[in-house]
C-alpha cells in the first residue's frame, strides 16, 4: 500500500494510526522475524526513553543471536545511503560525558538491544521537543542500543534535510543529499559494540505514494533482521476507521 500524506490530517489522527502501526509491527516482529530468545514489546518505559517498540534479549551472556531457523542475510543491508563513522577518543568522551546521566540498557524483561521510533508531529512541534528526540536517539546509540527511526512526516525548519541529517550531525557533520520527490526518511542505525566505537547508518528516502521497503533492525553489529514495514502498515490501515480514510485517500 502506498504511504499516505499524513500532513493532511492533524496530530491526533496520526497518533491514532501510529498506535495501531506499533501494535502490528510488534506482532510481525514476534511472528517469526526475531530469533529464539528475542522478542519485541510496544511502548515500555526505560530509564532514558519511552520508545515505540523495544527489541529485547533474554540471553544473559550476550552471545550472538541464533539465525539458524531464519532466512536472514548477515551481510550489511543495502540501502540508498550507507554511512559509517569511527568516533575519535576525544569526541567519544565528550559525547559520553554529555549523555552519561541518561544511559541505561537494562529492562525488567531482559536486555534492550534495539528500539524503533516512529516520528510524530509532536517530535517536530518545537525546537525543544525536536532537540529532545534527537538527544534520545543519540543517547540510545551511545549506550550500545541499535535504533530504527521511521519518519513519514515532511522535513521542517528544524530538519530541512530530514531527521537522519539531524541525528548524524551529532556524530559527524557530513553532506547529505535528499531526493526532492522523496522527503520521508527511514533510517536504521548500528550502535557498534563494546570493542568498537564505529556507528553505521542505513538510510532510505521515500515519498508519498511509495511502498514501504523493509528495513534492518540490528540485534548486534553484525546481525540484523528485516522489519516488515509495508505489511504492518497495511494491517494498521485496514483497522483504521473507514470514516477517516477518506481524508487521506
Predicted confidence at residue 211, as pLDDT, reads 96
State how far the Cα of 175 lies from the Cα of 89, in Å rounded to an integer. 23
Predicted confidence at residue 57, as pLDDT, reads 80
Q: Which residue in 103, 110, 93, 81 sits closest to 176, CA to CA?
A: 81
**What are the sequence ranges of the domains in the chain?**
6-61+83-245
Predicted confidence at residue 195, as pLDDT, reads 57
Determine the 3-state secondary structure of 28 from DSSP: helix
Predicted confidence at residue 97, as pLDDT, reads 41
For the chain, give percent helix, strand, coil, nearest 5: 30, 25, 40
State how far the Cα of 127 lies from the Cα of 156, in Å rounded to an integer. 11
Residue pointed to by grid coordinates 529464539: 36
pLDDT in tens, the chain (249 residues): 689 999 999 999 999 999 999 999 999 999 988 888 888 888 765 555 567 787 878 765 556 666 555 545 455 676 777 766 776 544 444 444 444 333 333 445 678 889 999 999 999 999 999 999 999 999 889 888 899 999 999 999 999 999 999 999 998 888 888 888 999 999 999 988 665 668 899 999 999 999 999 999 998 888 888 999 999 999 999 999 998 888 998
Instruction: Judge whether 91 and 214 are in contact, CB under 8 Å.
Output: no
Instruction: Report the topology of domain 6-61+83-245.
Output: tt1808, chain A (3.90.1570)
Between helix 127-142 and helix 89-99 the angle, nearest 10°, is: 120
CA distances from 204 to 22, 139, 195, 215 (A): 20, 22, 28, 9
Predicted confidence at residue 1, as pLDDT, reads 67
Give the three cell numbers for residue 8: 493532511
Determine the 3-state secondary structure of 194 from DSSP: coil
Instruction: Judge whether 150 and 233 are in contact, CB under 8 Å.
Output: no
Amino acid at each position: 500500500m502506498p504511504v499516505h500524506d499524513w500532513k493532511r490530517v492533524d496530530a491526533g489522527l496520526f497518533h491514532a494510526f501510529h498506535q495501531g502501526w506499533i501494535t502490528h509491527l510488534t506482532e510481525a516482529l514476534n511472528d517469526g522475524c526475531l530469533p529464539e530468545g528475542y522478542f519485541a514489546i510496544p511502548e515500555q518505559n526505560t530509564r532514558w526513553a519511552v520508545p515505540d517498540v523495544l527489541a529485547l534479549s533474554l540471553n544473559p551472556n550476550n552471545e550472538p543471536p541464533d539465525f539458524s531457523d531464519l532466512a536472514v542475510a548477515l551481510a550489511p543491508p543495502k540501502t540508498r545511503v550507507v554511512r559509517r563513522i569511527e568516533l575519535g577518543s576525544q569526541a567519544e568522551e565528550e559525547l559520553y560525558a554529555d549523555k552519561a546521566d541518561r544511559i541505561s540498557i537494562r529492562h525488567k524483561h531482559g536486555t534492550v538491544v534495539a528500539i524503533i521510533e516512529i516520528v510524530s508531529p509532536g517530535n517536530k512541534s518545537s525546537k525543544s521537543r525536536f532537540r529532545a528526540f534527537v538527544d534520545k536517539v543519540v543517547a540510545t546509540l551511545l549506550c550500545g542500543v541499535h535504533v530504527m527511526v521511521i519518519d513519514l512526516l515532511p522535513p521542517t525548519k528544524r530538519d530541512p534535510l530530514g531527521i537522519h541529517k539531524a541525528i548524524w550531525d551529532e556524530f559527524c557533520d557530513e553532506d547529505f543529499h535528499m531526493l526532492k520527490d522523496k522527503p520521508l526518511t527511514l533510517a536504521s542505525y548500528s550502535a557498534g559494540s563494546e570493542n568498537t566505537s564505529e556507528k553505521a547508518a542505513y538510510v532510505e528516502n521515500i515519498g508519498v505514494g511509495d511502498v514501504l521497503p523493509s528495513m534492518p533492525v540490528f540485534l548486534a553489529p553484525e546481525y540484523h533482521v528485516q522489519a516488515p514495514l509495508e505489511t504492518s502498515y497495511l494491517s494498521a490501515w485496514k483497522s483504521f476507521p473507514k470514516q477517516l480514510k477518506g481524508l487521506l485517500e
